[in-house]
Structure 1
Amino acid sequence: MIGMTIQGTRLYNKADSEGTKKAFTESKVTIEGKGALTERDGMKEKGLDKEIRVHVSGAVNKPGVYQMPAGSRVDDALRLAEAGPNADLESINRAALLTDGRQLVVPAIRSENGSNESMKNGQAVGTTTSGGTSRAFSKGSSSGNGNAGAIININSADASEMDKLPGVGPALAQRILQYRETKGPFQRVEDIQNVPGIGPKKYNDMKDMLSVY
């Protein structure tokens, strides 16, 4: 009787040990699984698992709409669209971040007489049509006859450059800079209308000189 009791106790302890080990293993799997889901959720919250579409045109060999990972740069789009031999790569910010739904127009190198070497549908390469698209992603202003045709990057221009825009004086130039410092970079050229003192009429006068890249 005593021997049976001891044996039964040993069997019970072994079963209990295996059950505890199994429960611990299941608990560990559950925790790891929960951690993996949390990590994926974090990626979604940050937008790292999303893709964007960008329209690349201008002085490129393969213009078109490209689907790219979120967080891609202008240089990534240039590699896909294959910048042409006449592409003016020195005048654009190739490190700029791309956003969904943007049209990137690669400017062409200007000839000696100051005209653009390529035209597309009557429109000089390096500009975009209105209607929600962003202007050519110039690093700053480009040369021309006086200020005519100059492109001002409103995300990097200083007060003196802002002052070159039609209807913008020193006071309004400072308001633009203050708005940019407070709200962050302009996402679209149209967003400059959020600055107090710039209404639809004034924006219409300056929009062809604006860039956000």
Structure 2
Amino acid sequence: MAEFVERWRVPIALVLIVAIIAGLAVLYVRWPRGPTSSTVRSLLTTDAGNQTPFPIVRTPEPRQSSLKVYVTGEVAHPGVYSFRAGERVEDALKAAGGATADADLTRLNLAQRLEDEGYIFVPRLATTPLPTGGSVPVSPAQNSRVNLNTASLAELDALPGIGATYAQRIVDYRTKNGPYQRIQDLVDKKLIPQSTFDKIKDLIDVR
């Protein structure tokens, strides 16, 4: 056996080498190749002829932020409402349920544009009663003052320096103890400080 291997070793090695070379040749022929220069030129020509334009990206317009406006006074539903830029006082009154029958709209500019953090107070219509017998007529200036014994929370809240907290105190005291006798009661009963009273003393009365 050893003599056989020694005798045929060289031919067997040559056969193996030829087989390996043949296998490599087959792989080379069948191995996928990259595109030729003619193929590349063809692709470029086709793309250039059928070029699709890039899509146009439109930047959306910035959304207008809403405006917050406090509407109070002679309206059906006082409160803070949201509006779009460009809306007007008339729109604010509609959002608050409309003006009451006692509202004096002649003192408002219904066409004025709203501003963020705005404040709209709808005043009450001042009426002057007709004098009868020995009664003394009430002047419009006096009658336009806020009556502490009948004013609503919204009317009191609209007074300078009062706000919702002091307005609630004034109404609660009136409900529990009866009508005020004089405007100074607000300070004497410790419902509001003297500094706040000084701001509103010419805007209030008791009737």
Q: TM-score, normalised by structure 2?
A: 0.44
Q: TM-score, normalised by structure 1?
A: 0.43
Q: Which has the larger radius of gyration?
A: 2
